[in-house]
Structure 1
Amino acid sequence: MTKLEVHGTTPLDLEGDLASLPGDSARMAPHWAAPAETASLPVPPSLIHGVTVPPASARLLDAMSDYGD
């Protein structure tokens, strides 16, 4: 069983609906910090040497159907 802990005075609405989402989001937003934006630099093609895929992953992907066929 899950133990829910409430740290505010706002009633906890476990069912929720679309109308409650803006308020829920506003209460959660202070808990998450956005990472600082970093500019990514292009990689010169001379540094790209291909991709290595482990054999188990290659077999898994090979066994997957393409687009549900």
Structure 2
Amino acid sequence: MTNLEFHNTGPLDPDGDMAALRGDCARMVPHWAAPDKSVSRPVSPSLIHGVRVPAASARLLDAMSDYGD
């Protein structure tokens, strides 16, 4: 049996409310940098190639139930 140890790395309140979550997010804002907005250009169809999936992965996906089953 594995003994998992968890160390508190900050103020974490699992029963916190939305105000506490918003406060946590506001304190993290200075640590995040938003990338400059870039305009995506269309890709030429000649550059688009098929996706290759290994047979084992295809079988695994085929055996999974579809969403909503």
TM-score for the superposition, normalised by structure 2:
0.68
TM-score for the superposition, normalised by structure 1:
0.68
In structure 2, what is the equivalent of residue 14 of structure 1?
A: 13
Extract unaligned runs of 5+ from structure 2. none
Number of residue-to-residue matches in the alignment: 64
Alignment of 1:10-49 (within 5 A): 12-15=11-14, 16-49=16-49
Identity of aligned residues (%): 64
Which protein has greater RCO, CA pairs closer than 8 Å, 6+ apart? 1
In structure 2, what is the equivalent of residue 4 of structure 1?
A: 8
RMSD of aligned residue pairs (Cα, Å)? 2.0
Distance verdict in 2 for CA 1:3–1:42, change over 3 Å: same
Extract unaligned runs of 5+ from structure 1. 7-11
